[in-house]
Amino acid sequence: MDNKTVLVVDDSSLARMMIRKIFATSFKEWQLVEAKDGDEALGLPEGRLRLALLDFNMPGMNGIELAEKLMAKYPGLAVYLVTANIQERMHQRAESMGIGFIKKPIAESKIADILKPFA
């Protein structure tokens, strides 16, 4: 069976709980790994990650800085910034790195869209 693991990094427990609930309800084939900031995420034991959902505004490194490190550590990882704050320059920088966006507030339909390539 294909192991599908998603990493969720957000300093807000509410945001993590909302994402956890969506996966537990509608996308049960995915396993969730959570971290509250970039340092914790990078310190997680190595495993096969397919997808990372990252908050942008976090203590320590921001979502784009974390994405850069994660993409080097996990080649082929699909990364999305989950944020309400989508600005032109941030968008351009993220796009040039192959990072996608999910606009907060998070919803099941938004997760469903980004999971299509994994079906």
Write the single-letter amino acid at 58: M
Residues 55-114 that bind other proteins (CB under 8 A): 56-59, 83-90, 104-105
Total number of residues that touch other proteins (CB under 8 A): 23
Kindly indicate which of the ranges 1-9, 50-58, 64-72, 108-116 contains the residues binding other proteins, using the contact rule CB under 8 A.
Answer: 50-58
* Residue written as token pair 């989950």: 82
Residue from 11, 65, 68, 108 in contact with other proteins (CB under 8 A) = 11
**Per rule CB under 8 A, is residue 26 in the interface with other proteins?**
no
Does position 21 interact with other proteins (CB under 8 A)? The reply is yes
Nearer to other proteins, 1 or 84 (CB): 84
Query: Which of 8, 18, 70, 94: binder of other proteins (CB under 8 A)?
Result: 18
- Return the number of the residue (49 or 61) whose C-beta is nearest other proteins: 61
**Residue 61 CA to its chain's centroid (Å):** 14
HEC sequence for the chain: CCCEEEEEECCCHHHHHHHHHHHHHHCCCEEEEEECCHHHHHCCCCCCCCEEEECCCCCCCCHHHHHHHHHHHCCCCEEEEEECCCCHHHHHHHHHCCCEEEECCCCHHHHHHHHHHHC
- Which residues contribute to the site for other proteins (CB under 8 A)? 11-15, 17-18, 20-21, 56-59, 83-90, 104-105
